[in-house]
Amino acid sequence: MTRFQEAICEKLLLSAAWTSGSIVVFIFAFMLFLGLPLLSGGHFFSLLTAHWAPQQGSYGILPMMAGSLFLALLGLLFSFPLSLGCACFISVLGPAKLRFLLRKVVELMTGIPTVIYGFVGLFLLVPLVRDIFGRGGLSLLSASLMLALLIAPTMILFFCDSFDRVPRSYLDAVDAMGGSKVQKLLYVMLPNSVHGIAAGITIALGRAVGDTLLALMLAGNAIHIPHSCLDSARTLTSHIGLVFSADFESLEFKAIFACGITLYLFTAVLVLVVRGINHRLRRPL
């Protein structure tokens, strides 16, 4: 193979990398360009703070942002303790066979399609919630419970990973002192995995905010700022899915680009946060 061919191939590979990377920039630029009519004249911030009232010409996405955040945080609230417990079970606390089994179950969960969670949620969980609370079948509560299940495997596998990275010598030291399994976990592994746990939560938050189907199918989609778990709510993602059918030229439609841009920027911020955490992780103590 000649040097010339080598150089050509390297250039080809480089252009593949740049093409893939530029898609990311391209997506953002495209949305910005199409959402421009709304953003021009400094309306962007008013978009973020105003309410949604198309009849009065107000296309604020505040209720959707509140819905997204409420839903994601509620999901995280349910999911985090569950995931931490499961991760500890898999890494240390469970009996060997059950640990292996639980891990397989978690890995299997990563393969279950989101639409299935939504479908089962709709026909199993929603009636249940309605029976128990008397109202609020299609509500933040139903959606966040399913969401908790959806993001649990992400967190569990991530936590297990960061437990595994705790240096062997620390664990041996505790074992040599006669520490029990749970002591080893609580006093050595958890404190040494704080960064990993933080990164896992951030990534799970990203998935929770980015999820469309559960919100769309289970949260009820009413446009208002939710006040309780049993309220119906609409998220940024489901708003995009719902307004989609409207007339493409209308301002109502253009507003979904504001949703898209907000989601995009939120993702970018989360990526930066995770990178910051990982950077600290790598820094020698």
Considering the complex, state which of residue 85 and residue 228 has its C-beta at the smaller distance from other proteins.
85
Please give the full DSSP string across 14-27, using - where no structure is assigned: HHHHHHHHHHHHHH
Q: How far is the CB of 80 from other proteins (least distance, A)?
A: 10
Q: Whose CA is closest to 162, among 251, 83, 108, 231?
A: 83
Q: How far is the CB of 203 from other proteins (least distance, A)?
A: 5
Q: How far is the CB of 205 from other proteins (least distance, A)?
A: 10
Phi and psi of 160, rounded to 5°?
A: -55, -40
Considering the complex, state which of residue 41 and residue 95 has its C-beta at the smaller distance from other proteins.
95
Instruction: Specify whether the CB–CB gap between 68 and 236 falls below 8 A.
Output: yes
Element (H, E) at 58: strand 58-59
Q: How far is the CB of 181 from other proteins (least distance, A)?
A: 8
Q: Whose CA is closest to 264, among 223, 209, 189, 213?
A: 209
Considering the complex, state which of residue 77 and residue 268 has its C-beta at the smaller distance from other proteins.
268
Six-digit token string for 164: 């595994």
Phi and psi of 122, rounded to 5°?
A: -65, -40
| Secondary structure of 73-89 as H, E, C letters | HHHHHHHHHHHHHHHHH
**Position of tokens 């393969």?**
111
Considering the complex, state which of residue 14 and residue 227 has its C-beta at the smaller distance from other proteins.
14
Considering the complex, state which of residue 46 and residue 212 has its C-beta at the smaller distance from other proteins.
212
Q: How far is the CB of 119 from other proteins (least distance, A)?
A: 5
Considering the complex, state which of residue 23 and residue 48 has its C-beta at the smaller distance from other proteins.
23
Q: How far is the CB of 227 from other proteins (least distance, A)?
A: 25
